[in-house]
């Protein structure tokens, strides 16, 4: 399973050769979330030194099953062909 996911990430990366590795992963995470009802989106508020509040958000795919991510990557690869 793992090598399939890695092979698919490699294939996606070939279509975006100017992206650095973690840029690619970040883009894939956000793309997955946006196509799957904001799966993994986390939002919060950071309290800055002066007490000001600043909202933030990030994508956390920790609980995403490999099979679902593989299906998503297959879609991306299919769209790139």
Range of the structural domain that residue 47 is part of: 2-80
Residue length of the chain: 81
The separation between the first and the last C-alpha atoms of the chain, rounded to the nearest angstrom, is 22
Rounded average pLDDT over 15-33: 97
* Structural domain total, the chain: 1
Percent of the chain topping pLDDT 70: 98
Q: Which two tokens stand for residue 36?
A: 């799957």
Report whether pLDDT(1) > 80.
no
Give the confidence band of 81 by pLDDT, cuts at 50, 70, 90: confident
Helix (H, G, I), strand (E, B) or coil at 74: helix
Give the confidence band of 19 by pLDDT, cuts at 50, 70, 90: very high
Rounded average pLDDT over 7-22: 97
pLDDT value at residue 2: 64
Q: Are 13 and 19 in contact (CB under 8 A)?
A: yes
């Amino acid at each position: 399973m793992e090598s399939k996911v890695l092979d698919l990430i490699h294939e996606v990366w070939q279509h975006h050769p100017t992206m650095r590795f973690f840029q690619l992963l970040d883009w894939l995470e956000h793309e997955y979330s946006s196509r799957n009802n904001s799966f993994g989106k986390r939002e919060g508020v950071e309290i800055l030194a002066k007490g000001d509040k600043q909202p933030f958000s990030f994508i956390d795919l920790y609980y995403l099953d490999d099979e679902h991510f593989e299906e998503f990557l297959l879609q991306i690869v299919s769209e790139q062909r």
